[in-house]
Amino acid sequence: MTILIDIGHPAHVHLFRNFIKIMKGKGYDFIITVKDKNPARQLLDLYGISYITLPPRGSSITGKFFKQLLFDFLVIRLIRKNNIRVGIGSSITIAHASLFTRMYSIIFDDDDDEVQPLFARFAHPYADMLVSPESLRGHRKRVDTVYYPSYHVLAYLHPDVFSPDCGVVSRLGLSEGDKYFILRFTAFKAHHDINESGITLEQKRELIALLEGYGKVFISSESEIEDEFRDKKLEISPVDIHSVIACAWMYIGESQTMTSEAAILGTPALRCNTFSGRMACLDEEEKKYFLTYSFLPDNFDSMIEKIKELMAIEDLKEEWKKRREKMLNEKASATSFMVDIVERVIAERSQN
């Protein structure tokens, strides 16, 4: 049987790559679709995963709407041509395509309805199955959502499937034991980023000046890095990014995904944007496991004070290792759950 996966974001490559590997070992075939000009294509190439390229996304809301119609048409045609019976992803396209074909759609989504109203409105109701981490209970309008005891990032950062290689620090020009910090700035151009914001240019300057008093600063950014920070650009292969994060002394940024990745890897993670306090998975990582901290841009000064407080802890990474262990003891492998649920659906579909 052939399974369709639509990739909408680089993080989705990580989310599904171990699932793809396991299911291929069980004899399943895959068709992967991804939009053109999506950084996810580079990751798919690096992991040796073949894919079909769709046109690039639209830039404006109107453009996104008409492009979505095109994506739906192209994927529906692909499904019919290849007689695909099961499709999974974190995209509107998978849900829409299943309305006009025999394909059963499974949407994996770890964002709250409130912070992604368009996706909740135009994807959730049309998927045959909606699957989310259990920390999202109470944040879903769809009452038959299937919940599982894990996080999306544990599909690729669980110790069963990932061990950091701190040898990467030498490729950053550092020696073992050197303190360094990863900063991640986002472009805020996704559909759910309308009217949202993060760290200002002046705040970036203050943050970098503070951190350089403790160690080396590296910047990862979705958009072009400001000229004054170019010398701090993180130059590393995308396949090494999680090892770089795991071995960093601290992560600070605007990205929800990278904040969660850092926290799950046992690296103190601080996030500053207007999504603060509105993301159930990150809220659980912060308030239950104390792995991360979130701040609104207006409370940037509080984040600076928290950084100073954390830097005064001599065994900071050891403390986070203990907190991470507590979380891992209570969470399962997301990939194992994914395999179980998809195989169950396939078995049921085969009997129909």
pLDDT digits (tens, 9 = 90+) for 200-242: 999 999 999 999 999 999 999 888 889 999 999 999 998 999 9
324 and 346 fall within a common domain: no
Residue 107 domain boundaries: 2-158+333-350
Looking up residue 183, the CATH number of its domain turns out to be: 3.40.50.2000
222 and 298 fall within a common domain: yes
303 and 190 fall within a common domain: yes
Contact assessment for residue 218 and residue 172, using Cβ atoms and an 8 Å cutoff: yes
119 and 36 fall within a common domain: yes
269 and 290 fall within a common domain: yes
72 and 188 fall within a common domain: no
171 and 126 fall within a common domain: no
pTM for the structure as a whole: 0.91
Q: Which residues contact 40 (CB under 8 A, 6 or more apart)?
A: 7, 8, 9, 10, 12, 13, 34
pLDDT score of 190: 58
CA-based nearest residue to 96, from 4, 188, 12, 193: 4
The domain tally of the chain equals 2
Question: How far apart are the C-alpha atoms of 54 and 170, rounded to whole Å?
Answer: 38
325 and 339 fall within a common domain: no
269-273 mean pLDDT: 96
185 and 310 fall within a common domain: yes
283-310 mean pLDDT: 97
193 and 242 fall within a common domain: yes
CA-based nearest residue to 32, from 6, 8, 68: 6
148 and 179 fall within a common domain: no
The pair of three-digit structure tokens given for residue 83, joined into one six-digit string: 């007689």
188 and 82 fall within a common domain: no
